[in-house]
Amino acid sequence: MLEMDDILNDFVRAWQTFDADLIIKHLDEKFVYDSQWVFASLDCQGYKEYIQGKFQTLKRNRITIEAEIVEDSYMGGKMMKLIQDGEAPVYYRIKLNNDNSKVIKGDLCAF
């Protein structure tokens, strides 16, 4: 079984290479995504479409993303820090399902 660190490493690689499949393979069918900058939550299918489109746009526009795993001093554990073209960082937290095999929740926020 994969550990949280393994899954986070795949998320980091996905953002570094714009390969959405590295994220999608870890999503539970009940996955929900929320962002501080988006009004409505996305379900699993909506997020798959969103992240594929997002990565295509970033790649097409030659946007640079720095991604790394950092300690989450707010919630505990670890999370991903993303920096786009040297702008202020944003943070992506994930939550695993009860048997820790799939991601059921993703949250993107400024802290």
Q: What is the pLDDT along the chain (111 residues), one digit of tens a residue?
A: 578 999 999 999 999 999 999 999 999 999 999 999 989 999 999 999 999 999 999 999 999 999 999 999 988 899 999 999 989 999 999 999 988 899 999 999 998
Burial of 104 from C-beta contacts in 10 A (0-12 / 13-18 / 19+): middle
CB count in 10 Å sphere of residue 61: 8
C-alpha–C-alpha distance, residues 31 and 46, integer Å:
10
What CATH number does residue 91 fall under? 3.10.450.50
Residue ranges making up the domain that contains 97:
4-109
Q: Give the chain's domain count.
A: 1
Residue 9: how many CA atoms within 13 Å on its side-chain side?
5
What global pTM score does this model have? 0.93
Given a contact cutoff of 8 angstroms between Cβ atoms, the answer to whether 58 and 65 are in contact is yes
pLDDT of the residue at 1:
56
Identify the residue whose tokens are 């992240």. 51
As given in the structure block, the two tokens for residue 47 are 């997020």
